Amino acid sequence: MRLISWNVQWCRGIDGTVDPARIAREARRLADPDVLCLQEINVGFADLAGASGENEVQALEREFPGYQDFFASAVDVPGTGNSRKHFGNLIASRFPVGRVMRHSLPWPKANVPSMPRAALEAVIQAPFGALRVITTHLEYYSSGHRAAQIERLRELHCETNAESVSEDTEGPFAPLARPASALVCGDFNMPPEDPLRTRFLEAFVDGTPKFMDAWQVLHPGEAHPHTFRVHERKDGQSPYCCDYVFVTENLVPRLRSIAVDADNQASDHQPVIIELG
């Protein structure tokens, strides 16, 4: 299973051009992905730099025929007339998809700029078995918000061990598998040395499989490659890594490779490419 995780900055490249088709071309060039996890997808916001308000979910659906596409709107606000504006995360999969869940993450009140955040979860039937693929984009400005969101992601993972089973096997109450095996990816807005990253990787007291950093597993002792501000330096700030792929420990034997495309300029973040088998 080849997966790309990428904060695409509403499909806006370093050149200032917003181009969903370019994102699709770059993704296919990098890996011909089986699963695509994208953050910062825009629907209707024409006031973002370079944006026209195009529905980027629909644009990307057209670029990936044969894939199932799922979108989780973290921001959902009125647009013009009866329209809505959305900003969130997308998963596209060429493999069969079971249950899909959209999780709102905590958004504590704070005297800092911030916006709602969400995690999108899809149970994907990979050739080696089912796993939950979760993509998210955590808070940038407030470490307090980010800490609450990390805790919620850990809680959601534990819930897979404690779900009730319904007797209804046909309707909306039908039980659908939500396996403990999971891959969590996205823009976590924290550098590798952040204590919150350490917290996310801590063991669970109830025996729930803990998360492992795929880069550290496959490249022990090697620093995470920079994934943000590599080609665009604002206010003299240095590049760093904030985009990760975490897998449950039972998936570690299936890790084959992970890489960051350092040369890509189709976004202000670098894409992360991982393969499991």
pLDDT tens string 205-246: 999 999 999 999 999 999 999 999 999 877 778 999 999 999
Nearest Cα neighbor of 247 from 237, 258, 238 is 258
Rounded to whole angstroms, how far apart are CA atoms 29 and 16?
21
Residue 113: band (very low, low, confident or very high) from pLDDT cuts 50, 70, 90: confident
Bridge partners of 185, per DSSP, are 135, 245
233 touches 268 (CB < 8 A): no
Residues 6+ apart with CB under 8 A from 77: 84, 85
Domain 2-164+171-276 has CATH 3.40.50.300: no
Rounded to whole angstroms, how far apart are CA atoms 47 and 100?
30
pLDDT tens string 16-58: 999 999 999 999 999 999 999 999 999 999 999 999 999 999 9
Residue spans of the domains in the chain: they are: 2-164+171-276
Give alpha helix (H) positions in 80-212: 143-158, 195-200
- Predicted TM-score (pTM) of the model is 0.95
Nearest Cα neighbor of 105 from 161, 170, 174, 151 is 151
